[in-house]
Chain A
Amino acid sequence: MLDLLVFAQAGGQEAADKFANATASGVALGAIYALLALGLVLIYKATQVLNFAHGAIAALGAFFAAYLATVINFPGRYATFLPTTVQWILSALVAVLITAAVGLVLERLAIRPMIGEPLFSVVMITIALDIVIRTITDDFIGANPRPLGDPWGADIVNIGPAVVAKSEIATVIVTIICLVGIALFFRSRYGVAMRATAFDQEAAMAQGISAGRIFAIAWAIGAGLAAAAGVFSSLFPRSSIGVGNTTAFFAFRALPAIVIGGLDSITGAVVGGFIIGLAESYAGAYITGATWSFLGLGFSGVMPYLVMFVVLLVRPYGLFGTEEIRRV
């Protein structure tokens, strides 16, 4: 009897550890999804364009970070007195800024001529951009993947029963900072202008808001967020080897997040990101082994899409999305 009790306790402890680990890993994964989703939603909200090139931009940003941090050590080489962690963060920030500038250029050259075109064409142009950016990024990356040289390396810490990598904690912190930053941005002058443009473009322009400038800002911030997501998806333990020619595909995993949350909801993006991160992680931890073998190979990977279908059946515009009012 006593034996059984001890066993039950040990089993309970094990189950709790498993749950804690799966949760921690789901939150860390969800944070990257949320970062990607934030950028996607911001761009969609302002320009009504779903950016299929987001993953390619993320990989480009991660490449910039890897190049700046490990090859030319910019801007750290001019500030060697700073701790290496700060030097790396500066490099990553510069990479984010460069990627934001790339976003500006993309918007001006390819997206602005397409505003108001049929949905299909707009979807396709971002897919075409994805092909172009991904090809160039692959060429930049070269033969082998490029590790990012981040200061956290393979360090791990214990948070309660869960073991997490320091880089995962950094990911969650950065996601929170970005979320707060975006929330603050929407209260700023340009943020209000962006909301107005998203609501009614003509009315906003009549009020003296430059819609073009709003589009540009949205794409710059969106690309910057993509770069941040690219950097954090290329770190230990998720992809210890750094940014490679498959990094760009990661963003497709975040698409269910924005649908679940609602395409035009910032809150929805973050909530959706964490929902699918956790769903994938729990599916991986619990829907596995011989009992579930009838579900085939890699079921956890389609879990986000299944959650998405269920949500859409109940709410066709996502959990936080605004229902479109259609007129004849």
Chain B
Amino acid sequence: MKKMRIFVLVLALALIAAACSSDSDDTTTTVAASGGEETTTTTAAASGGEETTTTAATETTEAPAEMKIDFGVDLEAGTITIGQTADLTGPFAPLVNPIMAGQQMYWAWVNANGGIGGLEVLMETRDTAYQVEQHIAAYDEIRDQVVAISHTTGSPQTLAIADALEEDSMIAVPATWYSGWTDTNIAPTVLHTGAPYCLEAMSLLDWMLAEEVKEGNDAPTLAIASIPGDFGLDPMAGALIWAETNGIEVVYDGSGTIIPGQDLKPVADAIVASGADLVYVTTTPSTFSEVYGGALTQGFEAKWSGAGPTYNPAFLVSPIADAIQRDWYGGFYMQPWGGDSAGMALTMQLVEASGADIPANDYVGLGVVEAMLVHAALQKAYENGDMTRAGVLAAVRSLDNVDFLGVAPAENYTGSTSDQIQRAITLWRPSVANLEAGGSGSEIVETDFIGPTAESFEFTEACYQF
């Protein structure tokens, strides 16, 4: 693990000419903390010298004497193939396409800098259109060609292939934050990244409550509404736990009542009628804009929040921009665009270097984070000399401190469910000024935030069970 982290870091430093000394100070301490075998690179990284970095990077990994492989690794051709079952044309395409872009840029950069022990990483992407059946077909098509799944869109979809993933010992990184991914009983080969929806809800509501108390309202009321499925119901479970823990009255519970493609005025009316001070809604951006717009027309004012994917930066150039700036309390599982970390600097640098014509987007960074996790797993497996799928799974299950260069909180993939749970999220507020200055419109308030309710909650199993 350590080697991979240093490797990435060193390359990042090489890429970012402006890397300052405080950055390398930070990172050297974590290097020491993470422990493990000693190599020459440690000194290279510790010295923080930019001149030596590139050569150091290529030396980081000595090829093991013997390499075990089964699927997706071709030592003769010098390639490693990883798969993605991604929603490229369905409802979540606006999020998934930037994620794929982020992965693509990251792997292109890894390959340009020597790959994984000289092996080039190739992507094999299939479109799922967010349909379970198509998702299963897509996985069936690539399962014998790949060593890992670096992206799988959607929880019901990922759950539908979970048995097959387990059978294949295939690690998979889901682009959903269902709390069950941390629950080792549900899908042992699916790896979480970031805090799950239900703990995110607790932290966000903790934050909103604190703000409300600051404004002099000690006993605010809560209204919740969501679309069906884990994406809606996992955060709702978190919100209800939060309300119970804090003795907050839930004046409207619309869990699972937002059905995309239908008139959503009734949901908006119910929220308005409840007169809640805090509203926690989780749905797709377009349906959220309908619910929120319906409430706005009736002059409703409250603090609104919801799971990360509910929000879309297009809100800030739409008619509801002013209102959303006033009302929305945003959370994300990693740093939004423009965050202060080596990882985000790397992401932004990659986007710039690619010359791609994409707007500043929080999900490009997510793609980089997903790829970093798979990179760590593959690197560790390479060092172990076992790049079979089972070997990669074993490798990732030995990583107790995967570092994402600060762009996302470090993760632990060993031990029990409660050991692995991630609680930290980034808090941010929407800002038109930030958007106009070339950002993604997300003004960071606090990184690595854990609300008191989220902190004290004992996480032993998924908040919402399928």
> Does A associate with B in a complex?
yes
On chain B, the residues within 8 Å of A240 by CB distance are: 289-290, 292-293, 315, 318-320
* Contact between chains at A297 and B286 (CB < 8 Å): no
CB-contacts of B252-300 with A (<8 A)? 256-257, 259-263, 265-266, 269-270, 284-286, 289-290, 292-294, 296-299
**Distance A163 CA – B359 CA, assembled complex (angstroms):** 36
A191 at the interface (CB under 8 A from B): no
* Contact between chains at A297 and B228 (CB < 8 Å): yes
* Contact between chains at B297 and A288 (CB < 8 Å): no
* Contact between chains at B259 and A298 (CB < 8 Å): yes
B314 at the interface (CB under 8 A from A): yes
Taking the nearest CB of chain A, how far is it from the CB of B174, in angstroms? Answer: 21
B94 at the interface (CB under 8 A from A): yes
* Contact between chains at A143 and B359 (CB < 8 Å): yes
Beta-carbon nearest neighbor of A253 in chain B: B261
On chain B, the residues within 8 Å of A298 by CB distance are: 257, 259, 262
Taking the nearest CB of chain B, how far is it from the CB of A136, in angstroms? Answer: 12
CB-contacts of B214-262 with A (<8 A)? 228, 256-257, 259-262
A145, A146, A153, A253: the one contacting B285 at CB < 8 Å is: A145
* Contact between chains at A246 and B262 (CB < 8 Å): no
Using A144-B359, A241-B312, A244-B286 as known contacts, say yes or no to A297 and B320 having CB atoms under 8 A apart. no
Taking the nearest CB of chain A, how far is it from the CB of B361, in angstroms? Answer: 7
On chain B, the residues within 8 Å of A285 by CB distance are: 265-266, 269
On chain B, the residues within 8 Å of A135 by CB distance are: 89
A150 at the interface (CB under 8 A from B): yes
CB-contacts of A248-290 with B (<8 A)? 249-250, 253, 280-281, 284-285, 288
A164 at the interface (CB under 8 A from B): yes
On chain A, the residues within 8 Å of B312 by CB distance are: 144-145, 241
A224 at the interface (CB under 8 A from B): no
On chain A, the residues within 8 Å of B72 by CB distance are: none
Beta-carbon nearest neighbor of B293 in chain A: A237
On chain B, the residues within 8 Å of A143 by CB distance are: 94, 97-98, 358-359, 361
* Contact between chains at B94 and A144 (CB < 8 Å): yes
Residue of A241, A284, A301 with most partner-chain B CB within 10 A:
A241
Taking the nearest CB of chain A, how far is it from the CB of B217, in angstroms? Answer: 25
**Distance A250 CA – B260 CA, assembled complex (angstroms):** 10
B314, B359, B361: the one contacting A242 at CB < 8 Å is: B314
B452 at the interface (CB under 8 A from A): no
**Distance A235 CA – B94 CA, assembled complex (angstroms):** 19
B323 at the interface (CB under 8 A from A): yes
* Contact between chains at B263 and A301 (CB < 8 Å): yes
**Distance A9 CA – B290 CA, assembled complex (angstroms):** 32
CB-contacts of A275-328 with B (<8 A)? 280-281, 284-285, 288, 297-298, 300-301
A213 at the interface (CB under 8 A from B): no
* Contact between chains at B319 and A147 (CB < 8 Å): yes
Using A242-B318, A300-B266 as known contacts, say yes or no to A144 and B313 having CB atoms under 8 A apart. yes
CB-contacts of B305-339 with A (<8 A)? 312-315, 317-320, 322-323
**Distance A147 CA – B312 CA, assembled complex (angstroms):** 12
On chain A, the residues within 8 Å of B260 by CB distance are: 246
B64 at the interface (CB under 8 A from A): no
Using A237-B296, A240-B293 as known contacts, say yes or no to A301 and B262 having CB atoms under 8 A apart. yes
On chain B, the residues within 8 Å of A126 by CB distance are: none
On chain B, the residues within 8 Å of A99 by CB distance are: none
* Contact between chains at A300 and B262 (CB < 8 Å): yes
* Contact between chains at A25 and B261 (CB < 8 Å): no
Taking the nearest CB of chain A, how far is it from the CB of B107, in angstroms? Answer: 20
B186 at the interface (CB under 8 A from A): no
B93, B262, B292, B320: the one contacting A138 at CB < 8 Å is: B93
A64 at the interface (CB under 8 A from B): no
* Contact between chains at A284 and B94 (CB < 8 Å): no
* Contact between chains at B91 and A163 (CB < 8 Å): no
On chain B, the residues within 8 Å of A164 by CB distance are: 297
* Contact between chains at A147 and B318 (CB < 8 Å): yes
Using A156-B299, A238-B293, A244-B286 as known contacts, say yes or no to A288 and B266 having CB atoms under 8 A apart. yes
**Distance A288 CA – B263 CA, assembled complex (angstroms):** 13
* Contact between chains at A154 and B320 (CB < 8 Å): yes
On chain B, the residues within 8 Å of A242 by CB distance are: 314, 318
* Contact between chains at A239 and B319 (CB < 8 Å): no
* Contact between chains at B265 and A281 (CB < 8 Å): yes
On chain B, the residues within 8 Å of A165 by CB distance are: 293, 297
Residue of A70, A138, A143, A242 with most partner-chain B CB within 10 A:
A143
Beta-carbon nearest neighbor of B323 in chain A: A154
**Interface residues as binary, B78-112 with A (CB distance below 8 Å gives 1, 0 otherwise):** 00000000000101011001100000000000000
Chain B residues with a Cβ under 8 A of chain A: 89, 91, 93-94, 97-98, 228, 256-257, 259-263, 265-266, 269-270, 284-286, 289-290, 292-294, 296-299, 312-315, 317-320, 322-323, 358-359, 361
- If A237-B293, A241-B318, A288-B270 are given as contacts, then 4 extra A-B residue pairs at C-beta distance below 8 Å, sorted by A number, are A147-B319, A244-B285, A245-B94, A297-B228
Offer 25 A-B interface pairs, CB within 8 angstroms, sorted by A.
A29-B263, A70-B317, A138-B89, A144-B314, A147-B314, A147-B317, A150-B319, A154-B297, A154-B320, A154-B323, A236-B319, A239-B293, A240-B293, A241-B285, A245-B91, A246-B284, A281-B263, A284-B263, A284-B265, A284-B269, A298-B257, A300-B262, A301-B259, A301-B261, A301-B263
Closest 3 CB pairs of A and B: A237-B293, A298-B259, A301-B262
